[in-house]
Amino acid sequence: MKKNTLILGIESSCDETAASIVKNGNEIISSVVASQIESHKRFGGVVPEIASRHHVEQITLVIEEALKQANVTMDDLDGVAVTEGPGLVGALLIGVNAAKTLAFMHNLPLVGVHHIAGHIYANRFETEFKFPLLSLVVSGGHTELVLMKADNEFEIIGETRDDAAGEAYDKVARTLGLAYPGGVQIDKLAKDGEDTFHFPRAMMDDGSFDFSFSGLKSSFINTLHNLRQRGEEPDPNDMAASFQASVVDVLVSKTIRAAKEYDVKQLLLAGGVAANQGLRERLIQEVKLELPDTELIIPPLSLCGDNAAMIAAAGTVSFLQGKRSNYDMNANPGLLLEDI
């Protein structure tokens, strides 16, 4: 094997079509992302059929551009890593079939990657992992606390019982009339608001590491509707700040407690909501106060959203462990993190 390992990563699980070339699992040589936000904005969320059509149009282009930017050819690569699941089945199929075709044509090893493993391994571009570590994964479809005692060993010690945090963000943003993606808009408004509504902090002190945001979402929507029925229009900044304060309080409180209980060396933030400034700032503050001996790792904003560099990073770990996928690999929208 060559001294340097070059992996092509492909991501198409939702509404970004992405390709990336990564060296040794921790150095991005190129990263290309074709976003579909403008196409889905008018619908207030991702439309699966539209997402799949865009992936068909973009997949070849982003792969060619990633190779071009990296100044490499398929013959220079050691393998192809692709998001196998979870995600939208039609969207996943585009990336999986593209990866299988390239691997077959160029006789390259094929590695299927779990989407959330990719988000976690996005932090490898910041520093090497030290185990045991704990990752707070927060995205539109996932809110989980994941314990890792070794590479590619995932134990979910806490997860949402209903809405994911990012999903709740988008739903309350829609109620306020904000454009998709709503999480970004709520975060911006929250900076200029105060927690005047004191929404519930569900399950914060129940002793578990699980989360629930459905009640918070309902409380927000009901409060807004009741005010408007009385002819009042609340300050959107205060509404956003109050909602975000509830989410961040619960996420950070449970994460800090879990990190203490499992005595982890590193605490990672991962997923699309990792870009939330309120969450990032609060986590930095609390880790400094409560976990002075624990290293906090937060990925750059460019690696919080869906991208292929993170898939290549996670794929490199699997590749070096000797894991390979067969050509009968299919899109797996229900793929479990602990089963990979």
Distances, alpha carbon 340 to alpha carbons 8, 94, 96, 156, in Å: 19, 21, 16, 13
Q: Which residues contact 10 (CB under 8 A, 6 or more apart)?
A: 18, 19, 59, 63, 80, 81, 82, 83, 95, 98, 99, 308, 311
Annotated binding residue at 250?
no
Q: What is the DSSP track for 182-251?
A: HHHHHHHHHTT----S----TTTTSSSS-B--HHHHHHHHHHHHHHHHTT----HHHHHHHHHHHHHHHH
Annotated binding residue at 193?
no
Q: Which residues contact 225 (CB under 8 A, 6 or more apart)?
A: none
Q: Which residues contact 289 (CB under 8 A, 6 or more apart)?
A: none
Burial class of residue 98 (count of CB atoms within 10 Å of its CB; 0-12, 13-18, 19+):
buried
Annotated binding residue at 119?
yes
The neighbour count for residue 194, using CB atoms within 10 Å, is: 12
Annotated binding residue at 141?
yes
Annotated binding residue at 158?
no
Annotated binding residue at 137?
yes
Annotated binding residue at 339?
no
Annotated binding residue at 72?
no
The one-letter amino acid code at 92 reads L
Annotated binding residue at 170?
yes
H/E run at residue 95: helix 89-105
Annotated binding residue at 54?
no
**Residues 307, 122 contacting (CB under 8 angstroms):** yes
Annotated binding residue at 138?
yes
Annotated binding site for Fe cation: 115, 119, 306
Per the annotation, binding residues for substrate are 137-141, 170, 183, 187, 276
Q: Detail the residues annotated as belonging to a binding site.
A: 115, 119, 137-141, 170, 183, 187, 276, 306
